[in-house]
Chain A
Amino acid sequence: MSNATDESLLSAEFLARLEQLELVSRKILTGRFKGDRLSKRKGTSVEFADYKNYVVGDDLRFLDWNLFARLDRLFIKLFQEEEDLHFSILIDNSISMDFGTPTKLHYAKQVAAALAFVGLVNLDRVALYVFNSDIAAELSPLRGRRSVWRMMNFLQDIKPAGAGNLSKAMKTFVLKSSGRGIVVLLTDFMDKAGFEEPLRYLVARQMDVYAIQILSQEEIEPDLKGDLRLIDIEDNDVAEVTVSAALIRRYKQNLAAFRAALQEYCNRRGICYIFTSTQQPFDQLVLTYLRQRGLVR
Chain B
Amino acid sequence: MRDLRNLPYLTVLLSSWFALGLLLVLLLGVLLAGALTFLGPWLEQNWNLTFPTPLPLTWWYVFPLIPLVLILLYFLKLKRRALHVPSTFLWKKSIEDLHVNSFFQWLRRNLLLILQLLFLVGLGYALADPTYNSEARGRHFILMIDNSASMSCADGGEENSESGTGGRTRLEEAKRRAHDLVDRLDPSDQAMVIAFNDEARTVQSYTNNKRDLHAAIDSIEPTHRPTSLEQALALAEGQANPRQSGVDFTLPQAEDGLTAPRATERPEGITTQVHLFTDGRFQDMPDFRLGNIRPRLEVVGSSADNIGIVRLSLVRDEEEPDQFILAVQVANFGDEALRERVSVQMEVFNRQGKQDARIEPVNLAPRQVREVPTATEGKPRREETPGLATPQPILTFAFKDPGQGHVRVSLLDRKTGQAWKDIFPVDDVAWLAITPVRRARILRIGDANDILDAALRAVVQQQRAVVTSLEPSAIPNDPVYRLSTEVEQFDLVIFDRCAPPSMEMMPYANTLFIGQVPPLPPWGRELWSKMQPMDDLYVKEFLVSHPLMRGIETLQGMSISQAKALPPDVLPPRSSALIETQKEPVLWALGRGRYTDLVMTFPLVVEENGVKNIWNTNWPRQPAGTFPLFFDNVVLQLGRYKEYDESVRPGEAKPLELDVPVRSITVRRIDPADGTSVEIQSIPGRGLAFGDTDFVGLYEATWPDQKYRFAVNLFDVQESMVEPRRELRIGEEVVSGEEQPMRARRELWPWFVLATLVVLVVEWIVYQRRIYV
User: Which A residues fall within an 8 A CB radius of B?
Assistant: 96-97, 99, 104, 188, 190-192, 216, 218-219, 224-234, 237-247, 250-251, 253-255, 258
Contact = CB atoms under 8 A, between A and B. Distances in A.
Contact of B86 (A219, A226, A229, A240): A219
B105 A246 contact: yes
Interface in B428-445: none
A239 B86 contact: no
Interface in B51-89: 77, 79-89
B94 A237 contact: no
Residue picked from B89, B97, B105, most chain A C-beta under 10 Å: B89
A242 to B, nearest CB: 6
Contact of A216 (B82, B83, B86): B86
A207 B90 CA distance: 29
Given A241-B95, A242-B109, A246-B105, A230 B88 contact: yes
Q: Name A's interface SS.
A: mixed
A177 to B, nearest CB: 27
A134 to B, nearest CB: 19
A240 B85 contact: no
A117 B299 CA distance: 111
Given A228-B83, A243-B770, 13 more contacts: A190-B89, A191-B89, A192-B89, A227-B77, A228-B82, A229-B80, A229-B82, A231-B84, A231-B88, A232-B87, A237-B88, A239-B92, A240-B95
A218 B83 CA distance: 12
A245 B108 CA distance: 13
Contacts of A192: 87, 89
A188 B86 contact: yes
B47 interface: no
A226 B81 contact: yes
A219 B772 CA distance: 18
Interface string B91-110: 11111011000000100110
B87 A234 contact: yes
B773 interface: yes
Nearest to A250: B94
A239 B95 CA distance: 8
A237 B82 CA distance: 12
A242 B770 contact: yes
Nearest to A216: B86
A244 B770 contact: yes
Residue picked from B84, B85, B93, B94, most chain A C-beta under 10 Å: B85
11 contacts: A192-B87, A219-B85, A228-B81, A230-B83, A232-B89, A239-B95, A244-B105, A244-B108, A244-B770, A245-B772, A258-B90
B95 A247 contact: yes
A251 B105 contact: no
Q: Name B's interface SS.
A: helix
B771 interface: yes
Going nearest first, the 9 A-B pairs with the smallest beta carbon separation are A190-B87, A96-B86, A239-B88, A232-B88, A250-B94, A229-B80, A251-B94, A239-B91, A99-B86
Contacts of A238: 88
B81 A254 contact: no
Contact of A250 (B77, B88, B98): B98
Contacts, number: 104
Contacts of B93: 254
Nearest to B90: A254
Contacts of B98: 246-247, 250
Interface in B250-305: none
A144 to B, nearest CB: 37
Contacts of A255: 90
Interface in B152-188: none
Contact of A227 (B81, B88, B91): B81
A282 B727 CA distance: 102
A172 B203 CA distance: 104
Given A192-B89, A247-B95, A231 B83 contact: yes
A139 B321 CA distance: 155
A195 to B, nearest CB: 11
A297 to B, nearest CB: 34
Contacts of B105: 242, 244, 246
Given A225-B771, A239-B95, A245-B770, A251 B90 contact: yes
Contacts of B79: 227
B83 A224 contact: yes
A245 B773 CA distance: 5
Contacts of B89: 190-192, 232
Contacts of B108: 244
A233 B85 contact: yes
Nearest to A97: B86
Contacts of A231: 82-85, 88
B91 A251 contact: yes
Interface string B536-565: 000000000000000000000000000000
A251 B87 CA distance: 12
Given A227-B79, A254-B93, A244 B771 contact: yes
A95 to B, nearest CB: 8
Given A251-B94, A254-B94, A228 B770 contact: no
Contacts of A96: 86-87
A253 B95 CA distance: 12
B80 A243 contact: no
A238 B82 CA distance: 9
A175 to B, nearest CB: 27
Nearest to A188: B86
A238 B91 CA distance: 10
A213 to B, nearest CB: 13
B772 to A, nearest CB: 6
A229 B81 contact: yes
A169 B770 CA distance: 41
Contacts of B91: 230, 239, 241, 251
Given A242-B770, A245-B771, A233 B94 contact: no
A92 B81 CA distance: 29
Contacts of B90: 190, 219, 251, 254-255, 258
Given A232-B85, A254-B93, A240 B771 contact: no
A199 to B, nearest CB: 17
Nearest to A257: B93
Residue picked from A104, A225, A230, A234, most chain B C-beta under 10 Å: A230
A240 B80 contact: yes
Contacts of B85: 218-219, 230-233
Contacts of A234: 86-87
Contacts of A99: 86
A241 B91 CA distance: 8
Contacts of B82: 228-229, 231
A62 B91 CA distance: 64
B81 A190 contact: no
A57 to B, nearest CB: 58
A240 B771 CA distance: 15
A266 to B, nearest CB: 18
B100 to A, nearest CB: 10
Nearest to A95: B86
Residue picked from B86, B92, B95, B105, most chain A C-beta under 10 Å: B86
Nearest to B79: A227
B435 to A, nearest CB: 98
A240 B83 CA distance: 10
A108 to B, nearest CB: 13
B770 A233 contact: no
Contacts of B87: 96, 188, 190, 192, 219, 232-234
A234 B81 CA distance: 18
A244 B101 CA distance: 14
A131 B773 CA distance: 41
Contacts of A224: 83
Residue picked from B84, B91, B93, B772, most chain A C-beta under 10 Å: B91
A244 to B, nearest CB: 5
A86 B88 CA distance: 36
Given A99-B86, A216-B86, A251-B94, A240 B81 contact: no
Contacts of B771: 225-226, 243-245
